[in-house]
Amino acid sequence: MPGQGVASTFAFGRAVGAIQGLLDLLPWTVTLAEPRVWKRTMGLTADKAASLLAARSLWPEAPLKRVRDHGSAEALLLAEWLRRQR
């Protein structure tokens, strides 16, 4: 990230490596998904309102009433993308 110092960048890299090491020990399959890949597959863009609309149409009873619920909407859509991949 621009403006980030060398020490914090190194610490971030160590944390990512530790998490990857732990995940490698678990019996689960880990799928890394870039937003541009899963959003394109789901017919989405970076538009937060579109993500909310899509999630509300798939899960009308989900608590996605507020504009700031777009993060929860994208989490649901990402899970749906993964379900469709499997």
pLDDT in tens, 39-52: 999 999 999 999 99
For 3, the domain range is: 1-28
Does pTM top 0.75 for this prediction? no
Number of domains composing the chain: 2
Q: Are residues 71 and 50 in the same domain?
A: yes
Q: What is the pLDDT of residues 51-71, one digit of tens each?
A: 999 999 999 999 999 999 999
- Do 51 and 77 meet the contact criterion of CB atoms below 8 Å apart? yes
- Do 74 and 66 meet the contact criterion of CB atoms below 8 Å apart? no
Q: Are residues 16 and 36 in the same domain?
A: no
